[in-house]
Amino acid sequence: MAHDNKREAASKGWLGKPVAEATTAGKTVDVTKIKALNVDCGDVVTFRSGAKSFTWKFEVPNHGRFDLKAIAPADFNAPDLIVYVSRAESERG
């Protein structure tokens, strides 16, 4: 069965969305060197593991934490890495 990136992205929509251009990322993270990552809602992050990478914009309405594997593409070797999403500065009142 062919890999359907659009369907996969739609099922992860409550966590944000993939970004085509890595140049828009605010930071790049080597997932082989960390166990956890703190981001703010709205942040754009490029995740790297060896020669593979993907870029993600975090748009998480309820904020909180989740495993990187929940958003990583199927061909990305995601380790056990917890992403903590906080409210963006503009969401803090």
Which band of pLDDT confidence, cut at 50, 70 and 90, is reported for residue 13? low
Specify the number of domains making up the chain.
1
Q: For the ranges 13-22, 31-40, 56-65, which has the lowest average pLDDT?
A: 13-22
Average pLDDT value over all residues in the chain: 84
pLDDT at 2 over 90: no
Per DSSP, the residues of 2-15 read: ---HHHHHHHTGGG
Strand 36-40 relative to strand 82-86, pairing: parallel
Domain containing 71 — which CATH number? 2.60.40.2280
pLDDT at 12 over 80: no
**Residue 10: phi, psi to the nearest 5?**
-65, -35
Q: Which two tokens stand for residue 14?
A: 């409550």
Residue 33 structural domain: 5-91
Q: What is the per-residue pLDDT for 83? A: 97
pLDDT, mean of residues 36-44: 96
